[in-house]
Amino acid sequence: MSITADFHVHTVHSPDSVITFPLLVEACRRNGVDAVAVMDHDVIEGAFEFESRSLEMKAAGEWAPRILVGEEVRTAQGEICGLFLKEWVPNGLSAEETMTSIRSQGGLVYVPHPFDILKLKRLKARELVELRDLIDIIEVFNGKPRYPRANRLAARFVSRNPFPAAAGSDSHDPTRLGSVRVELEDFTGPRDLLDKLEDARISGHLYSPFASAFTRLRMRRHDQNILA
């Protein structure tokens, strides 16, 4: 069975996101997204909470997206995501230490937006090659790179270095969730996902990080007016 996944989404547990669980469910239903990887910044509690609430809805006979527990970790060398995590990965470690921590709990190492060169800290191509034995997935399509050619460079890098490729919207507001998607056969766990990514189809469109920031500001002001 084929499913659609967004492998990079932030929730209200990230300080710069406004996506609550009800908003996530609504956006996934509206945009035909079956699975979401929650990649909150340096915290994992929200991913566990969203996974639990999704399972509760399904047990009650309601539709909900599958939640993949992840975390976007700020390392000393840039951001690295863990997928299929069982426990929190601390921030501030080296890239190698972070990857080893992710791997030690059976998770997958997912490198987000690796060629967004306007980010002050990021793993360079040379470092990606040096750490290739610890990297499982490279994000080749991110919804809101600050550098316009970042996705093209990532895709070119993967074409020359055989890493599994995936993609995510990097959405911080519900209107962008699913703007980037991966269509693939359903998977049962980390190893099976890597196998299924070989035949996956990535599609989507870019959006402005500034437009997203404006949307989040407008949503917060709306909520404040309701509470006032």
Q: Tokens for 162?
A: 């055989």
227 phi-psi bin (left φ>0, alpha ψ -120 to 50, beta other)? alpha
Tokens of 46: 């929200």
Rounded distance between C-alpha atoms, residue 73 and residue 201, angstroms = 26
Position 101 scores a pLDDT of 98
- Residue 222's pLDDT is what? 67
Residues 130-152 have a mean pLDDT of: 96
Checking if the pLDDT of 106 tops 90, the result is yes
Return all residues near 72 (Cβ < 8 A) that are at least 6 apart: 8, 10, 39, 40, 41, 42, 79, 80, 81, 112
At 220, the pLDDT band (50, 70, 90 cuts) reads: confident
The pLDDT of residue 113 is 97
Mean pLDDT across 95-106: 98
Consecutive H or E run containing 39: none
pLDDT at 117 over 80: yes
pLDDT at residue 41, rounded to an integer: 97
Q: Rounded mean pLDDT of 70-88? A: 97
- What pLDDT is recorded for position 139? 98
Question: Across residues 92-112, what is the average pLDDT?
Answer: 98
The contacts found for 90-96 with CB under 8 angstroms, 24 or more apart, are 91/42, 95/123, 95/127, 95/131, 96/131, 96/134
pLDDT (tens digit per residue) in 155-193: 999 999 999 999 999 999 999 999 999 999 999 999 999
pLDDT at 228 (0 to 100): 41
pLDDT at 226 over 70: no
Pairwise pLDDT comparison (201 vs 120), residue with the higher score: 201
Report d(CA 18, CA 177) in Å as an integer: 12
Burial of 119 (0-12, 13-18, 19+ CB in 10 A): middle
pLDDT at 30: 97
Q: What was the pLDDT predicted at 225?
A: 59
pLDDT in tens, 14-69: 999 999 999 999 999 999 999 999 999 999 999 999 999 999 999 999 999 999 99
Domains and CATH numbers, the chain: 2-227 (3.20.20.140)
Which pLDDT does position 209 carry in this prediction?
87
* Mean pLDDT of the residues in the chain: 95
